[in-house]
Structure 1
Amino acid sequence: MRSVHTGDRLDPIAGALAADRLGAPSVVYFVLSAAAPLTVVAGVVTTGYAVTAITGLPVAFLAVGAVLALFAVGYVAMARHMANAGAFYTYISRGLGRPVGIAAAWVALIAYNALQVGLYGAFGAAAAPLIDQWTGVAPPWWLLSLIAWALVATLGMMRVDVNGRLLAILLTAEVAVILIFDLADLANPAASGLTAETLSPSALFVPGVGALLIIATLGFVGFESSVVFSEESRDPRRTVPLATYASVAIIAGLYALSAWAMTVATGPANIVATARRDGAETIFVIAAAHLGDAVVDLARVLFVTSLFAAMISFHNTTARYFFALGRERVLPAVFGRTRASTGAPKAGSIAQSTLGLIVIVAFAVLGLDPLVQLFYYGGTFGGFGVLLLVCTTSVAIVVFFARRPSGESALRRIGAPVPAAAALTVMVWLALNNFSTLLGVAPGDPLAWVLPAVYGAAAALGLVWAFVLRSGQPAVYSLVGMGAKAATAHDPTH
């Protein structure tokens, strides 16, 4: 493994990257593992049906997939023009300027923290019935969430060397169970028959369509990580685009198929009532009528492990955001320090774990619903933040290529990025106008405007901080978005 030192400590971001390690299939496995398919199918899809009472989720996945495929054209093209291409923060800084980039970084911290912490609610709610079934003891959800929190916090302080083969086995088992459930649903339709009603584009033209789109976007969170592996890929000019497009296509197809199969099994008119009655158990209750208990029990276990894997993934993502900003001195330098024995981003990991503990304890004390109010609200809030970042990045890509000559084709510079930016802007507008439907609250409920306003406030504070840096610390400001180069520049030994 190649290592790069900055002063007396190892820079884990620069040091961990080794060229020619990953082919396209390996990158796809990493991306899909982060996407946690069974978590989305069992948690996001069923909760989405229950909360929004809208049945067009299958076609929404396809629509969002098409938009993100357009976005990916410019996204992977831009990756070829900068060394630190792993985060939205970098793209936005290079395309729209450092102040907007710093504002986006603050939005990203909130969004990824919300996604990670929200998973604790789903983990506790999903694991409790299993423990009850196996032992006859029904533990409170928060106790199981705290156990998961302790494990994630511990792993976050360690150097985690992901075993690609194990990831492939777990992901293959997870997807196989989903497909078995889908086939069982389609082979045993309700009285309405094998209807494609929820796959029709007309299902998008209903009140609250913005809620559908943001729920669908939740399922794609993590697809952007394919670019992170560009420096470690064999022939990145071919591998990264192939992995990105393949990941978007697989995610869109799998989630649309699963969401549609559920409506076939229950009948489109009954899916909302079924999801409201059974919650995250919906896919298991449906499957239990046609498959043996062993398959259903295996799927329940895989659902819990899928949630746990997603928690680890988002924890590491959030800690890396803290680290990247600390390394560039956008946040206090302490966040740019690593644990000497493992190279883990120590302060960022501790910050993320502290937030998780506070949220779990607060929800337990207040007696709030871990599945809807923590997992679904937290996930949709975080998903909306990611949608804002993708939309802003799409604009940054257009501006970036308009300002500098490149060897990219007109399709990559304009043809795909411009319509992608337009479509994503419409999606953001629809999501804002339908946020109450998204959350399942009454129009005018304070929650429907407070949550989006959080991102506006974070972006505003980020802009102010950028201008403070520009006037008070110009050397720091000049290195925003430079990644490992910033660490070298800040190191007095270089």
Structure 2
Amino acid sequence: MSVALETKPSSELRQGALGLGFIVFFVISAAGPLVAIAGGFPIGIMLGNGAGTPSLIIATVAILLMFAAGYTAMSRHITNAGGFYAFTARGLGGTAGGAAALIALLGYNAMQIGLYGMFGAVCSGFLGTHFGIDAPWWVCAFAAMLSIAVLGYRQIDLSAKVLSLLVFGEYIVVLILDIAILKAGGAHGIDFVSFKPRTFLGGTPAIGFLFCFASFIGFEATTIYSEEAKDPKRTVPLATYISVLLIGGFYAFSLWCIVIGAGSADIVKTLSALADPTTFMYSLSDHYANRTLTAAMSVLFITSVYAGLLAFHNSASRYFYASGREGLLPASLGRTHASHSSPHIGSLWQSAIAAVVVLVFVVMHADPVLTLFSWLTNVATLCIIALMALSSAAVIAFFASLKSREEGALRVVFFPLVSGLALLAVLVLAIVNFPLLTGAGPLVSYGLTALMPVFAVAGVVTALRLRSRDRHAFDRLGSSRL
């Protein structure tokens, strides 16, 4: 009898498993600070507004803080692993919530799966360069996938402990290089050209903004872990603000140091001359520090991608879990492991989908970085920006429906309105410039952007089917679970 009770299926996540620090580590690892600094921003600087990129980071932080004002206010009323989906459902209704749920599943799965292309490529290159091992990229990707599947299936705090070690190392190596550049005085002395208005507006700031917003993807995941957080009404808002400020401060300072290291007038020319702009950080490390730091950076670049894989796997599995628990997807997804209290069915689904998609790209002999990584992670960026804009509207509608006025209009009307409009503008810019972002032709690029409305319509259909068979379940979509 006792054995039967122990193995009875559960639908509850492991409450109180995550403190403030672990949630912040999950968010930072999803943002991938080293991947952004070494991999994304060199391209963003080259295509965007060059030396003015640190200023764009500060502007991006300002927009995200306005978004966070309403987002965290609503998080005090809703504790649900569905994150954006839950907020949209409670603010804009179950039909919009269904659309948000499917967009979120597309976005988080696309980001996680796309990262396997980057991981496989850099890991394969590292093994060949340092150990003479000729391992195909997909072997490295599937090896990582197996370990991610195990960690995602088990207890959430085990994943958090792995991430905390990896993220700490990323910050250390980049900050060491930053200090070395400042100590040497950079290429032409320390200056603040990056923060002058003419530099901020120079080049193509619209493109630069896209890279800046993409580098913060993952910060919004604080609410996804709310059901597993200690004191979620306090922890989730704190984790959100700390994550935005920590990531933003790190990016702005490090990018300023990078600009100084190359010279504010020369950085775009220097990057354009490189066959691969993502090697720029390594050349700076060789010049201002030493090869030991460069080697450490190359290893931690791999672990940074791995940390992102694990963080986005956990996010995707929780969206599967929330959607299954509330009736949008099969009910089996809403079960948790009897021992680990993890969304293990959602974790298995995510791993299976990742395996199939990566296998398709392998069979097609596609380039892991230029196709798998570039295409899917940019689709994910579109999805997350759209979800943030929806959430901004949901905040305004949710608090307008409340009889009590606990929050001021500045926090739940003005800030969400301004941030929502800014996010919509960024979304339009991203769609218009999608061929430039993906490096693919117009047909493929706009075919990829079409995935988002297709999934949104599928989500609406799913929600309407739920309403027809269970109106009570439909009305409770996104409700607080604690």
- Structure 1 partner of 2:70: 74
Following TM superposition, by how much is the alpha carbon of 1:260 offset from its aligned partner in structure 2, in angstroms? 3.5
Following TM superposition, by how much is the alpha carbon of 1:54 offset from its aligned partner in structure 2, in angstroms? 4.9
- SS of 1:367 mapped into structure 2: coil
Letter in 2 for 1:370: P
Pick aligned residue for 2:302 from 294, 304, 314 = 304
User: Given that residues 315 and 352 in structure 1 are in contact (C-alpha distance below 8 angstroms), is that contact kept between their aligned partners in structure 2?
Assistant: yes
Deviations 1:155-182 (A, max 9, x none): 2333343376665443332201111122
- SS of 2:15 mapped into structure 1: coil
Matches within 5 A, 1:392-407: 392-404=390-402, 405-407=404-406
Following TM superposition, by how much is the alpha carbon of 1:33 offset from its aligned partner in structure 2, in angstroms? 3.0
The reply on whether 1:387 has 2:356 as its aligned counterpart is: no
Following TM superposition, by how much is the alpha carbon of 1:471 offset from its aligned partner in structure 2, in angstroms? 2.3
User: Given that residues 96 and 396 in structure 1 are in contact (C-alpha distance below 8 angstroms), is that contact kept between their aligned partners in structure 2?
Assistant: yes
Letter in 2 for 1:406: R
Matches within 5 A, 1:49-64: 49=45, 52=47, 54-55=49-50, 56-64=52-60
User: Given that residues 89 and 102 in structure 1 are in contact (C-alpha distance below 8 angstroms), is that contact kept between their aligned partners in structure 2?
Assistant: yes
Following TM superposition, by how much is the alpha carbon of 1:396 offset from its aligned partner in structure 2, in angstroms? 0.7
- SS of 2:341 mapped into structure 1: coil
Q: 1:336 to 1:243 in 2, by over 3 A?
A: closer
Following TM superposition, by how much is the alpha carbon of 1:230 offset from its aligned partner in structure 2, in angstroms? 4.9
- Structure 2 partner of 1:423: 422
Task: Name the count of aligned residue pairs.
Answer: 473
Q: 1:189 to 1:460 in 2, by over 3 A?
A: farther
The reply on whether 1:376 has 2:343 as its aligned counterpart is: no
Q: 1:189 to 1:441 in 2, by over 3 A?
A: farther
Q: 1:331 to 1:142 in 2, by over 3 A?
A: same
Question: 2-side partners of 1:459 and 1:78: how far apart?
Answer: 23
Question: 1-side partners of 2:100 and 2:161: how far apart?
Answer: 35
Letter in 2 for 1:462: G
The reply on whether 1:150 has 2:146 as its aligned counterpart is: yes
Following TM superposition, by how much is the alpha carbon of 1:134 offset from its aligned partner in structure 2, in angstroms? 3.2
Following TM superposition, by how much is the alpha carbon of 1:465 offset from its aligned partner in structure 2, in angstroms? 2.3
Q: 1:174 to 1:190 in 2, by over 3 A?
A: closer
The reply on whether 1:479 has 2:471 as its aligned counterpart is: no
Following TM superposition, by how much is the alpha carbon of 1:420 offset from its aligned partner in structure 2, in angstroms? 1.6
The reply on whether 1:111 has 2:107 as its aligned counterpart is: yes
Letter in 2 for 1:451: L
User: Given that residues 46 and 282 in structure 1 are in contact (C-alpha distance below 8 angstroms), is that contact kept between their aligned partners in structure 2?
Assistant: yes
Question: 2-side partners of 1:26 and 1:355: how far apart?
Answer: 27
- Structure 2 partner of 1:8: 8
- SS of 2:479 mapped into structure 1: coil
Question: 2-side partners of 1:242 and 1:160: how far apart?
Answer: 20
User: Given that residues 81 and 318 in structure 2 are in contact (C-alpha distance below 8 angstroms), is that contact kept between their aligned partners in structure 1?
Assistant: no
- Structure 1 partner of 2:355: 357
Following TM superposition, by how much is the alpha carbon of 1:245 offset from its aligned partner in structure 2, in angstroms? 1.7
- SS of 2:275 mapped into structure 1: helix
Letter in 2 for 1:392: L
The reply on whether 1:249 has 2:245 as its aligned counterpart is: yes
Q: Return 5+ residue gaps in structure 2 as ranges.
A: none
Q: 1:203 to 1:451 in 2, by over 3 A?
A: farther
The reply on whether 1:127 has 2:126 as its aligned counterpart is: no
- Structure 2 partner of 1:180: 176
Letter in 2 for 1:332: P
Letter in 1 for 2:375: Y
Question: 1-side partners of 2:226 and 2:353: how far apart?
Answer: 31
Following TM superposition, by how much is the alpha carbon of 1:135 offset from its aligned partner in structure 2, in angstroms? 1.9
Following TM superposition, by how much is the alpha carbon of 1:198 offset from its aligned partner in structure 2, in angstroms? 4.6
User: Given that residues 324 and 483 in structure 1 are in contact (C-alpha distance below 8 angstroms), is that contact kept between their aligned partners in structure 2?
Assistant: no
- Structure 1 partner of 2:291: 293
Question: 2-side partners of 1:188 and 1:124: how far apart?
Answer: 35
User: Given that residues 40 and 219 in structure 1 are in contact (C-alpha distance below 8 angstroms), is that contact kept between their aligned partners in structure 2?
Assistant: yes
Q: 1:116 to 1:226 in 2, by over 3 A?
A: same
Pick aligned residue for 1:334 from 332, 353, 363 = 332
User: Given that residues 43 and 122 in structure 1 are in contact (C-alpha distance below 8 angstroms), is that contact kept between their aligned partners in structure 2?
Assistant: no
Question: 2-side partners of 1:205 and 1:366: how far apart?
Answer: 42
Question: 1-side partners of 2:439 and 2:174: how far apart?
Answer: 27
Question: 2-side partners of 1:439 and 1:201: how far apart?
Answer: 29
Q: 1:210 to 1:194 in 2, by over 3 A?
A: same
- SS of 2:268 mapped into structure 1: coil
- SS of 2:288 mapped into structure 1: coil
Letter in 1 for 2:128: D
User: Given that residues 11 and 334 in structure 2 are in contact (C-alpha distance below 8 angstroms), is that contact kept between their aligned partners in structure 1?
Assistant: no
Letter in 2 for 1:335: L
Alignment RMSD (CA, Å): 2.9
Task: Give the stretch that moved more between structures: 246-255 or 70-79.
Answer: 246-255
User: Given that residues 93 and 99 in structure 1 are in contact (C-alpha distance below 8 angstroms), is that contact kept between their aligned partners in structure 2?
Assistant: yes
Deviations 1:170-210 (A, max 9, x none): 33322011111223344557756545455445456568644
- Structure 2 partner of 1:457: 454
Q: 1:123 to 1:232 in 2, by over 3 A?
A: closer
User: Given that residues 28 and 246 in structure 1 are in contact (C-alpha distance below 8 angstroms), is that contact kept between their aligned partners in structure 2?
Assistant: yes
Letter in 2 for 1:464: V
Q: 1:156 to 1:7 in 2, by over 3 A?
A: closer
- Structure 2 partner of 1:447: 444
Question: 1-side partners of 2:140 and 2:258: how far apart?
Answer: 29
Question: 2-side partners of 1:38 and 1:147: how far apart?
Answer: 22
Matches within 5 A, 1:318-329: 318-329=316-327
The reply on whether 1:102 has 2:98 as its aligned counterpart is: yes
- Structure 2 partner of 1:434: 433
TM-score (norm 2): 0.88
Question: 1-side partners of 2:352 and 2:22: how far apart?
Answer: 33
Deviations 1:339-365 (A, max 9, x none): 445333333222221222223222233
Question: 2-side partners of 1:397 and 1:139: how far apart?
Answer: 49
User: Given that residues 112 and 317 in structure 1 are in contact (C-alpha distance below 8 angstroms), is that contact kept between their aligned partners in structure 2?
Assistant: yes
Following TM superposition, by how much is the alpha carbon of 1:422 offset from its aligned partner in structure 2, in angstroms? 2.1
Q: 1:197 to 1:362 in 2, by over 3 A?
A: farther
